[in-house]
Amino acid sequence: MKKIIEFLIICILINFLYGCSIRTTYRIPEPMPDDRMHILEPQEQEVNIAKEAFHNQFVIQIQKLFEPSRLVRKLAGKPKQAMNIDAFDEVHNSTWFINRNARENLTLEEIVCGPDTEEGPDQSGSWIIFRAKVQGVTPGFQIKDSKGNRYVIKFDPPGYSELMTGAEVVSTKLFYAAGYNTP
């Protein structure tokens, strides 16, 4: 009996030491292939804001409420897991999101610069106004500079200089630092 106990203790000790000695590393999956394939430019569509709001706020929510598979998952306590994440619950890089802080942290200079890669519209030539800015509460328009680059020109409310434009600049840089592709 004593020999069996000694043998079991030795087996447990060997298993414990063997388990402690194994070192596994998680390999980060290879990045997804670049999905920026050429597609046709979508046709411009007129959007009925009231119809869209009603559809999104009521119709879709009622459809979700009576969806059988969703009800079963809810009753079972097993929510549907996201399909586009890795083992660390992180989103893979794509055309709309780049995990800029995954490998190394952004420096303060990179955050301050944000997505800005140029100085703005070319001021050596003339600009062509080709469309009014129709969304949002502040007036503005879209231009093409002499190099053919497009820009949106916005105005702050009278008496409140840099109120809206300042907030947009700051939020653009913060969203860029968070990983989103921003204009």
CATH at 134: 3.30.200
Structure tokens at 94: 């794509």
Residue 37 in any domain: the answer is no
Residue 112 in any domain: the answer is yes
> What is the pLDDT confidence band of residue 32, given thresholds at 50, 70 and 90?
low
Q: Which residues contact 127 (CB under 8 A, 6 or more apart)?
A: 121, 143, 144, 145, 146
**Sheet of strand 150-154, all strands in order from the earlier edge strand to the far edge:** 128-132, 140-144, 150-154
Residue 140 in any domain: the answer is yes
Residue 54 in any domain: the answer is no
Q: Provide the number of structural domains found in the chain.
A: 1
Q: Determine if the pTM surpasses 0.75.
A: no
Tell me which residue range forms the domain holding 121: 104-183
Predicted pLDDT of residue 31: 63
> What is the pLDDT confidence band of residue 133, given thresholds at 50, 70 and 90?
confident
Residue 56 in any domain: the answer is no
> What is the pLDDT confidence band of residue 23, given thresholds at 50, 70 and 90?
low
Residue 35 in any domain: the answer is no
Q: How buried is 144 (Cβ within 10 angstroms: 0-12 exposed, 13-18 middle, 19+ buried)?
A: middle
Average pLDDT over residues 31-47: 76
Residue 172 in any domain: the answer is yes
